[in-house]
Amino acid sequence: MSPVQRPLQAICFVVLAVACFAGLDTGTKMVSATVPVVMAVWFRYLFQALATALAMLPRRGMRLLHTRQPGLQVARGALLTASSVFSYLSLMHMPIGEFTAIVMLTPLIITLMAATSLGERISPLRWLCVAGGFIGAITVIRPGSEVFSLASLMPLGLVATNAAYQVLTSRLARTEEASTMHFYTGCVGAGLLTVLLPFVWTALSPAVWLALIGMGLCSTLGHYLLILAYGKAPVAVLTPYLYLQIVFATLAGWLAFAHMPDGWAITGILTIGVCGAFGTWLTARDKARVAVAA
């Protein structure tokens, strides 16, 4: 049976992947008070590079290192490293559920980029989803209220860098192997941050090192599960299930930190989730119509 004919298995992989990402964010918030941001993000990407090399070098050999576009690989790795730094700084100050909901604006930002930079025609309903997502984000952030702080704007930096990363990933995926992209992402992130590491290195307890290893496992396993999922079902089928990460993150925030979003935050979270999932479905429908017409 072709991998594309296994959508149920692919959906299970996506659900497990977003659960891993929620675990990564939970661990990040737990260690953010004791581990410098550069050190934590450096360890995550070093772990990813080593784990990918150990898993893939025996199977692919030196072909793992072959890339047609090294400059774009570096740019992609730098963008993901920047988004990880934004993520770490955001989680130092924000609850996990609200943070994750704002990050889920990324597909809507990609829609906006497609319209403004790539000249793609966007239907009125998709524009409505983009507007609804931003209204949801404002409802979560609530400028002018007592829950607002400048740190609440940091996830927007993550959304911007992550959207650019996704667009670049889509371009590279046409010519590059997934394992090669995954390996170079880890190498670029670890390499960029190694320069700063001597200035921030801090002695850590064994418990904190275990937490960092757990974060590395969650990150690497989550991305690997996504690669497996996208090999077994179309992106349009799977993307709506990515929004389950909001549910896992909210549950983790309640279990680990006894935080439950208030009524306004829940309203904003639901608005972002509904608009994002519906916008994804509309995008897939519009692309299918264009393909049929062609």
Instruction: Give per-residue pLDDT as tens, 91-136.
Output: 888 888 888 888 877 777 777 776 666 566 777 888 888 888 888 8
Q: Which two tokens stand for residue 49?
A: 């590079």
Q: Are 226 and 17 in contact (CB under 8 A)?
A: yes
Averaged over 69-76, what is the pLDDT? 92
What is the average pLDDT value for the chain, to the nearest integer? 82
Max avg pLDDT among 142-151, 163-172, 206-215? 206-215
- 1 pLDDT band, cuts 50/70/90, is very low
pLDDT score recorded for residue 145? 53
Q: How far is residue 141's CA from residue 131's CA, in Å, rounded to a whole number?
A: 15
Greatest CA separation for the chain? 61
- 4 pLDDT band, cuts 50/70/90, is very low
pLDDT score recorded for residue 2? 43
- Say which residue, 101 or 62, is predicted with more confidence: 62
pLDDT score recorded for residue 290? 65
Q: Which two tokens stand for residue 152?
A: 């609440």
Query: What's phi and psi for 242, nearest 5 deg?
Result: -60, -25
pLDDT score recorded for residue 226? 79
pLDDT score recorded for residue 209? 93
Q: How many domains does the chain have?
A: 1
- Say which residue, 293 or 124, is predicted with more confidence: 124
Domain that holds residue 56: 3-293
Q: Which two tokens stand for residue 270?
A: 């639901």
Q: How far is residue 104's CA from residue 166's CA, in Å, rounded to a whole number?
A: 13
Q: Are 209 and 34 in contact (CB under 8 A)?
A: no
Instruction: Find the range with the poorest average confidence among 84-88, 148-152, 167-171, 201-205.
Output: 148-152
Q: Residue 193 pLDDT > 50, yes or no?
A: yes
Averaged over 13-25, what is the pLDDT? 91
Q: What angle do CA 74, 53, 34 make, to 5 degrees?
A: 75
Averaged over 80-95, what is the pLDDT? 88
CA pseudo-torsion sign 171, 50, 231, 219: negative
- 235 pLDDT band, cuts 50/70/90, is low
Tokens 């799977």 label which residue?
238
Q: Are 223 and 242 in contact (CB under 8 A)?
A: no
Q: How far is residue 250's CA from residue 284's CA, in Å, rounded to a whole number?
A: 28
Q: How far is residue 198's CA from residue 217's CA, in Å, rounded to a whole number?
A: 24
Max avg pLDDT among 45-59, 136-150, 231-245, 247-261? 45-59
What are the CB-based long-range contacts (under 8 Å, 24+) for 208-212? 208/31, 208/34, 208/35, 211/27, 211/30, 211/31, 212/27, 212/31, 212/35, 212/40, 212/43, 212/44, 212/47
- 152 pLDDT band, cuts 50/70/90, is low
